[in-house]
Amino acid sequence: MRGLRAARSSCATAVRTVGWWFNSILGGQDYQRYVDHLARNHPGCAVPSEREYWRTRHADADHNPTNRCC
């Protein structure tokens, strides 16, 4: 019984780790980091909505494709 619990715990940890990795690769925390950056370094600036942030980020990537692999 104890071995089964340990295996289940290890499997759950592995799934969380893989989920965290994919979220990092896909930019899941980028907006929150940007909001934190604005609050820390530019306290008077307006914070864009998450939708505005992604729209601007994708438009910048389209206009400056040198930062992409494809």
**pLDDT tens figures, 46-59:** 999 999 999 999 89
Euclidean distance between the first and final Cα of the chain, in Å?
Answer: 49
Task: Select the more confidently predicted residue: 25 or 54.
Answer: 54
Task: Read off the pTM.
Answer: 0.62
Q: Is 64 left (phi over 0), alpha (psi -120 to 50) or beta?
A: beta
Q: Return the pLDDT at 69.
A: 62
Tokens of 27: 């930019």
Beta strands, E only, 1-70: none
Residue-number span of the structural domain to which 61 is assigned: 2-67
Average pLDDT on 34-43 reads 94
State how many domains the chain has: 1
